[in-house]
């Protein structure tokens, strides 16, 4: 094999892997957050999980990527280990589709120009041309992503054609055929397939390389079958590496994936070569074609699935015996379980999980505020401790979400996903401040309780009205954020203005009471603390609502938005008047 052919082979493999990466990246952007939502639903049913696993692997062109995603989701506590098995079986089947596409390159089209155009190495270039037109000319994000998929497919097929061309020089080469003859042993074939796939971390690429070799005519069925089986085991290497440092449940995902392929290989290879020893099949020594390899690849993975899926529960138990539960050092509670960095390989899934985490943070912050305000009616030390603990959890959410989202921002994501990242980054700081104000209110309530002092009846009555308004603005903000509801978000600012007005009125009432001698200076300081915190709470709710609205319009100018809604806006004025009537002394 000449140096130029070796370089061409390496270049072809490079193009193949890069094309696959472009293809899967574009398809994932098109899927957006839907991928994570569907995954949550379908994994509850093993059969649906299998179908979904096959479908998403066909789309993303990588069973390894799916398995790593599952490792990350299980490690984050989003999925249970037992839910992943159906998806793994489906991923094994879905990964065989690439071999069918690359296998078409080996079809002899003769001199028929129409048949030649139907071969992937030719029609993929036309698809790539359409793709680059979409990328360069289109302004729509979806069309650009579709263009990336088309270009990725063209690059992938070009890489395959380069590998096939590099192998042509070996056709009929006696030295090459002699070298291949030394590897004509089932166990060695399995090891070759395993090692090559583990090194390049792509079973699709290693199968494509085998198909390129098959075009030389030097690969027989007896040689190709063990290599394909080894490739199935080798593809588990990526998941096994990714599970380092995870909890026991996440490790089980990688282990069960390996178990499925190892058990399937042992059974199928024993059966095939055992029967061959009895019947001495003639085709075993015949040259294998590219489509023969694709056919066996599919038959093998479908057979494994049909053979082992009835024993899914047994596989789960066996995996649990091999990877036993260990008490994690410094184990975290549920609020501290966060998104695994392995999901950064699937940005749309990671963003969806960040959004779910920010929703939990929002709910925790608002619930904490409700509890804190309730302490003015009846102080309880246990509730106060719960609020302090919750505030620490909110701080952790803010720290980890912000750090994770900064990493996500550096990746290539769709416009829709970029909007979600922006919304979360703008909101988490305000959620964190809500937790701080809840703690401040706890301290005020604790001071009132420890000193045995009370607000006047008039002050209590006024505070109840203000807190009712705060309750509503918190509930509206929470629902608007979790549901990404723009109409609800627009109701926040008018209510915030009413709360500012109520706060001013309470301050004026206090001055009147102070002058008449019905209220003390000490109570005035405490009331001022309460009002400051409640007013700040409404301000943060306003910030969150503005983030929801402005991010949805691909802009973020808070001052411009607030000026626009307050001046000559009939909808704003109607809502303001409604809340003004609803909350009055």
**Domain presence at residue 334:** no
pLDDT confidence band for 253 (50 / 70 / 90): very high
Question: Contact 85/254 with Cβ under 8 angstroms?
Answer: no
Calpha distance 123→102 (Å, rounded): 12
* Residues 372 and 305 occupy one common structural domain: no
* Residues 286 and 412 occupy one common structural domain: no
- Burial of 533-548, coded b for 16+ CB within 10 Å and e otherwise, reads bbbebbebbbbbbbbb
**Domain presence at residue 253:** yes
* Residues 254 and 388 occupy one common structural domain: no
CA-based torsion, 426, 427, 430, 431: positive or negative: negative
Q: Is pLDDT at 563 greater than 60 in this prediction?
A: no
Q: Is pLDDT at 475 greater than 80 in this prediction?
A: yes
392 CB neighbour count, 10 Å cutoff: 13
Q: Which domain holds residue 536?
A: 346-582
Phi, psi of 365 (to 5 degrees): -65, -45
The three-state secondary structure class of 455 is coil
Structure confidence at residue 309 (pLDDT)? 92
> Which of these ranges, 122-131, 175-184, 351-360, 381-390, has the smallest mean pLDDT?
175-184
Structure confidence at residue 331 (pLDDT)? 42
In the block, residue with structure tokens 């005519």: 217
**Domain presence at residue 35:** yes
Among 322, 356, 373, residue at a domain's last position: 322
> And the tokens for 421?
């990242």
DSSP result, 84-146:
SHHHHHHHHHHTTHHHHHHHGGGS--TT-HHHHHTSHHHHHHHHHHHHHHHHHH--SHHHHHH
Structure confidence at residue 73 (pLDDT)? 83
pLDDT confidence band for 160 (50 / 70 / 90): confident
pLDDT confidence band for 223 (50 / 70 / 90): very high
Q: Is pLDDT at 413 greater than 50 in this prediction?
A: yes
CATH number at residue 560: 1.20.58.220
CA dihedral 488, 473, 355, 149 (to 10 degrees): 20
Structure confidence at residue 183 (pLDDT)? 65
Q: Calculate what percentage of the chain has a pLDDT beyond 70.
A: 88
Q: Is pLDDT at 337 greater than 70 in this prediction?
A: no
Question: Contact 483/509 with Cβ under 8 angstroms?
Answer: no
pLDDT digits (tens, 9 = 90+) for 187-208: 999 999 999 999 888 888 899 8
Q: Across all residues in the chain, what is the average pLDDT?
A: 86
Question: Contact 477/534 with Cβ under 8 angstroms?
Answer: no
CA distances from 584 to 43, 490, 501, 518, 556 (A): 51, 21, 10, 22, 33
* Residues 68 and 180 occupy one common structural domain: yes
pLDDT digits (tens, 9 = 90+) for 7-58: 888 898 899 888 888 887 787 777 666 666 777 777 778 788 898 888 878 7
Domain count, the chain: 2
Which residue would you say has higher pLDDT here, 29 or 285?
Answer: 285
Q: Calculate what percentage of the chain has a pLDDT beyond 90.
A: 45
The three-state secondary structure class of 333 is coil
> Which of these ranges, 14-23, 90-99, 319-328, has the smallest mean pLDDT?
319-328
Which residue would you say has higher pLDDT here, 243 or 498?
Answer: 498
Calpha distance 470→145 (Å, rounded): 44
Structure confidence at residue 373 (pLDDT)? 93
Among 271, 290, 322, residue at a domain's last position: 322
* Residues 530 and 474 occupy one common structural domain: yes
Q: Is pLDDT at 555 greater than 70 in this prediction?
A: no
pLDDT digits (tens, 9 = 90+) for 428-451: 999 999 999 999 999 999 999 888
Q: Is pLDDT at 333 greater than 60 in this prediction?
A: no
pLDDT confidence band for 474 (50 / 70 / 90): very high
Structure confidence at residue 414 (pLDDT)? 78
Per-residue pLDDT, averaged over 242-250, amounts to 85
**Domain presence at residue 170:** yes
Structure confidence at residue 179 (pLDDT)? 64
Phi, psi of 120 (to 5 degrees): -55, -35
* Residues 251 and 373 occupy one common structural domain: no
Q: Is pLDDT at 328 greater than 60 in this prediction?
A: no
Per-residue pLDDT, averaged over 246-261, amounts to 92
* Residues 454 and 307 occupy one common structural domain: no
Structure confidence at residue 534 (pLDDT)? 95
> Which of these ranges, 74-83, 457-466, 486-495, 559-568, has the smallest mean pLDDT?
559-568
Structure confidence at residue 311 (pLDDT)? 93
Per-residue pLDDT, averaged over 297-326, amounts to 92
Q: Is pLDDT at 334 greater than 50 in this prediction?
A: no
Structure confidence at residue 409 (pLDDT)? 86
Eight-state DSSP code of residue 163:
H
* Residues 484 and 436 occupy one common structural domain: yes
Q: Is pLDDT at 108 greater than 80 in this prediction?
A: no
Nearest Cα neighbor of 210 from 96, 68, 60, 59 is 96
Nearest Cα neighbor of 259 from 84, 510, 12, 411 is 84
**Domain presence at residue 96:** yes
Q: Is pLDDT at 514 greater than 90 in this prediction?
A: no
Say what the pTM is: 0.75
Question: Contact 50/86 with Cβ under 8 angstroms?
Answer: yes
DSSP result, 399-462:
HHHHHHHHHHHTS---HHHHHHHHHHHHHHHHHHHHHHHHHHHHHHHHHHHHHT----HHHHHH
Calpha distance 201→400 (Å, rounded): 30
Structure confidence at residue 332 (pLDDT)? 44
Per-residue pLDDT, averaged over 496-505, amounts to 94
Structure confidence at residue 532 (pLDDT)? 94
* Residues 131 and 271 occupy one common structural domain: yes
Question: Contact 91/57 with Cβ under 8 angstroms?
Answer: yes
Residues recorded for the chain: 585
* Residues 305 and 398 occupy one common structural domain: no
**Domain presence at residue 281:** yes
Calpha distance 369→383 (Å, rounded): 12
* Residues 290 and 414 occupy one common structural domain: no
Q: Is pLDDT at 560 greater than 70 in this prediction?
A: no
**Domain presence at residue 134:** yes
**Domain presence at residue 339:** no
Structure confidence at residue 111 (pLDDT)? 63
DSSP result, 335-367:
GG----GGGGGSHHHHHHHHHHHHHHHHHHHHH
> Which of these ranges, 175-179, 459-463, 483-487, 550-554, has the smallest mean pLDDT?
175-179
Structure confidence at residue 360 (pLDDT)? 93
Among 322, 355, 377, residue at a domain's last position: 322
* Residues 242 and 147 occupy one common structural domain: yes
Per-residue pLDDT, averaged over 108-135, amounts to 77
Q: Is pLDDT at 326 greater than 80 in this prediction?
A: no
């Amino acid at each position: 094999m000449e140096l130029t052919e070796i370089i061409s082979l390496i270049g072809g493999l490079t193009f193949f892997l890069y094309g696959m990466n472009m293809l899967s990246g574009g398809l994932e952007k098109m899927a957006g957050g839907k991928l994570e939502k569907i995954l949550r639903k379908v994994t509850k049913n093993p059969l649906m999980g299998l179908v979904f696993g096959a479908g998403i692997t066909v789309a993303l062109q990588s069973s390894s990527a799916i398995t790593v995603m599952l490792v990350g989701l299980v490690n984050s506590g989003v999925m249970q280990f037992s839910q992943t098995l159906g998806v793994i079986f489906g991923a094994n089947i879905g990964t065989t589709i690439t071999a069918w596409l690359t296998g078409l390159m080996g079809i002899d089209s003769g001199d028929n120009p129409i048949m030649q155009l139907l071969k992937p190495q030719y029609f993929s270039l036309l698809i790539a041309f359409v793709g680059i037109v979409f990328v360069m000319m289109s302004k729509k994000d979806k069309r650009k992503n579709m263009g990336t998929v088309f270009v990725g497919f063209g690059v992938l097929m070009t890489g395959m054609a380069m590998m096939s061309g590099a192998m042509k020089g070996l056709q009929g080469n006696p030295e090459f055929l002699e070298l291949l003859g030394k590897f004509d042993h089932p166990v060695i074939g399995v090891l070759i397939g395993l090692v090559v796939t583990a090194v390049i971390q792509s079973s699709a690429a290693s199968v494509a390389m085998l198909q390129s070799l098959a075009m030389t005519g030097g690969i027989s069925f007896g040689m190709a079958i063990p290599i394909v089986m080894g490739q199935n085991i080798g593809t588990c290497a990526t998941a096994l590496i990714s599970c380092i440092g995870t909890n026991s449940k996440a490790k089980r995902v990688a282990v069960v994936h390996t178990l499925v392929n190892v058990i399937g290989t042992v059974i199928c290879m024993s059966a095939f070569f055992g029967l061959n020893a009895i019947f001495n099949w003639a085709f075993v020594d015949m040259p294998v074609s590219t489509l023969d390899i694709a056919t066996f690849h599919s038959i093998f993975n479908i057979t494994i699935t049909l053979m082992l899926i009835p024993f899914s529960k047994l596989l789960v138990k066996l995996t649990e015996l091999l990877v036993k539960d260990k008490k994690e050092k410094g184990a975290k509670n549920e609020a501290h379980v966060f998104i695994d960095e392995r999901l950064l390989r699937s940005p749309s899934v990671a963003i969806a999980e960040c959004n779910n985490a920010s929703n939990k943070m929002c709910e925790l912050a608002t619930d904490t505020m409700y509890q804190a305000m309730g302490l003015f009616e009846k102080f309880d030390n246990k509730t106060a401790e719960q609020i302090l603990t919750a505030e620490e959890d909110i701080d952790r959410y803010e720290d980890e979400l912000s750090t994770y989202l900064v990493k996500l921002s550096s990746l290539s994501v769709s416009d829709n996903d970029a909007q979600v990242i922006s919304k979360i980054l703008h909101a988490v700081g305000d959620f964190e401040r809500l937790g701080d104000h809840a703690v401040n209110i706890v301290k005020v309530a604790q001071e009132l309780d420890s000193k045995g002092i009370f607000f006047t009846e008039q002050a209590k009555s006024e505070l109840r009205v203000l807190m009712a308004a705060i309750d509503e603005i918190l509930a509206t903000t929470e629902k608007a954020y979790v549901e990404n509801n723009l109409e609800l978000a627009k109701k926040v600012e008018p209510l915030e203005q009413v709360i500012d007005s109520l706060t001013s009125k309470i301050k004026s009432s206090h001055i009147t009471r102070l002058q008449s001698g019905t209220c003390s200076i000490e109570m005035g300081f405490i009331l001022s603390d309460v009002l400051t915190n409640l007013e700040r709470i409404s301000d943060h709710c306003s910030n969150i609502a503005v983030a929801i609205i402005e991010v949805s319009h691909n802009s973020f100018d808070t001052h411009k938005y607030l000026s626009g809604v307050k001046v000559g806006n009939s909808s704003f004025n109607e809502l303001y008047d409604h809340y003004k009537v609803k909350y009055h002394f």
